[in-house]
Amino acid sequence: MQSVSNKVVSRIYGHGRGWAFTKKDLADCGGSMAVEKALARLRSRGTIRLLLRGVYDYPRFSRLFKAPATPEADQIAQAIARKFGWSICPSGATALNLLGLSTQVPAKYVYHSDGPTKKFNWSGGEIAFTKRSTKETSSLSHRTALVVQALKSLGQEHVDSEVLTRLAKNLTAKEKSAAVREARYVTGWVYDAIRKAVAREAPNG
């Protein structure tokens, strides 16, 4: 029978480097105390790191800096949301940055949430959850919801040929297919923009 420690390691390694998580993601691996001990051992070895209270990650490695890479804010936000059972969706500048439509790194990453309004501070800034209906995006996959919010943040008048090309470049074939299938009931012009982006040839194929 596989030990709790081995189950925890297998789960973390299975998600790959860059994954952020909480004990909630490991609840089926064993008892709470056993999971905590396994995490403490992994943390002492430098395999995982504590990002903020109750949130860990299995860090990617930066070849440029020869050190663990900066954690991804979206991974942290998703881990927090799973912990509390919230449905969340990036908004405004956060959506644009995560989708590669803006190179400006937000000092605050903002998400709409069906949970309470809360803020979490980490080394990279602040992650804020604002209580707001996510009805339009709650039935969408995370990536499709991200596309919808990014386009709405830009506004119809700013969604030009360059934006559509960049959007096409930053979505995989699978994500494009999902976006067209899932977003058919969102605001009309947003869905039209998604269809136009999906129909475009990305610069490098």
- Summarize pLDDT for 38-89 with one digit per residue, the tens: 999 999 999 999 999 999 999 998 888 788 888 999 999 999 999 999 989 8
Q: What Å distances lie between residue 126 and 20, 82, 138, 194, CA to CA?
A: 16, 18, 23, 30
Residues in the chain: 205
How far apart (Å, rounded) are the C-alpha atoms in residues 89 and 144? 10
Which residues neighbour 60 within 8 Å (Cβ) at sequence distance 6 or greater?
A: 17, 18, 68, 69
The correct CATH number of 4-68 out of 1.25.40, 1.20.120, 1.10.3470, 1.10.10 is 1.10.10
Q: Where are the domains of the chain?
A: 4-68, 73-199
What global pTM score does this model have? 0.83
Q: What Å distances lie between residue 66 and 18, 43, 70, CA to CA?
A: 16, 19, 12
- Summarize pLDDT for 146-202 with one digit per residue, the tens: 999 999 999 999 999 999 999 999 899 999 999 999 998 888 999 999 999 999 765
